Amino acid sequence: MHVTLRQLEIFNTVARKLSYTKAAEELHLTQPAVSLQIRKLEDALNLPLFEQVGKRIFLTEAGREMLRYSRSISQQLNEAGEMLAQISDLSRGTLAVAVASTASSFATRLIASFLHRYPGATVSLDVSNRETLLRQLRENEKDLVIMGQPPADLELTGEPFMENPLVVIAPASHPLATIGKIPLKNLEQEPFVVREPASGTRAAMERLFKKHGLKPHIQVQIADNESLKEAVSAGLGLGVVSLHTLDLHVQAGRLVVLDVTHFPIRRHWYLVSRQGKRLSPIAQAFKHYVFEQGPVMDSATAGTSLPAH
């Protein structure tokens, strides 16, 4: 069955007016053009939709059934149009974002300021570890993800937008807290609190130690960044974290950033999506906003918690 939307529109109008002439006037068509489209629709359905009694036309049984379906189709098309209009309207769009747990402190501030600019938008936010983020990207569950550098072997598009300096932290009372230019080798015997093996921060720390022929003494492995900082504050060991996660802990005097050679490790935060992902208007607006505001946040953070050299 080959039926066009234009034929359904003409059929609905004739059914409402019960007049080819009045339908033609409303549709700005000629009466023969309206009659032709109705005949083509009837031919496609192989059933008559109208019958003429005297000078009046009436819907046949098939016509009444067709009108019910046609109205339903028209209603669904109108609803689809309204929904697509909402998607294209930045004031009402919905955005699915996931962020690495190590990025949550600055990412939530970034999202809050974005929603201040677009107050009608809705953000679905998920804070997860790297392994979960990569799974969500593979399964196309999120529009955009804020994380460390994505692996090159996956079909992902990642663009750096902000520096991510990794620093060594210790309790404020630690003996190394007041020492400057601590050689990296002096940390080899210090216990460390680290993230899970898939963590990008842990991998960067282990690469640095290995590059210098050293191996960190891992004493505690912990699942999330906030718990790691609490563990370091409690004296369970040193930690390596993003500088961007430290503001409140350093201001409260609970943690200090150690002055260690070869630190900070200079990495970047990336905005990542699936290759070929077609971003909605609100997702495109968020992407633009991240690249606009990321450097501003980076400048505001740079040097605030680093030890003086």
Model pLDDT for residues 31-87, shown as the tens digit of each residue:
999 999 999 999 999 999 999 898 899 999 999 999 999 988 988 887 777 667 666
Cα(26)–Cα(282) distance, integer angstroms: 38
Q: Which two tokens stand for residue 56?
A: 């009046």
pLDDT at position 104? 87
Residue 89 pLDDT grade (very low, low, confident, very high; cuts 50, 70, 90): low
Show the DSSP H helices in the chain as ranges: 5-17, 20-27, 31-45, 61-88, 104-117, 130-138, 200-211, 225-233, 247-251, 281-301
Question: DSSP secondary-structure letter at 307?
Answer: P
How far is residue 242 CA from its own chain's centroid? 21
How far is residue 43 CA from its own chain's centroid? 49
Query: Is 286 a residue whose pLDDT tops 50?
Result: yes
Q: Give the global pTM.
A: 0.65
pLDDT at position 254? 85
Cα(149)–Cα(163) distance, integer angstroms: 11
Widest Cα–Cα separation across the chain: 105
193 with 223: CB under 8 angstroms?
A: no
**Residues present in the chain in total:** 309
Query: Is 197 a residue whose pLDDT tops 70?
Result: yes
pLDDT at position 2? 84
Paired residues of 133 in beta bridges: none
Q: Which two tokens stand for residue 144?
A: 């955009």
Which of 36-40, 209-213, 278-282 is least confident? 278-282
pLDDT at position 105? 82
pLDDT at position 298? 66
Cα(127)–Cα(288) distance, integer angstroms: 21
**Mean pLDDT, all residues of the chain:** 88
Ordered by where they begin, the domains of the chain are 5-88 (1.10.10.10), 94-301 (3.40.190.290)
Higher model confidence: residue 253 or residue 37? 37
Cα(74)–Cα(59) distance, integer angstroms: 19
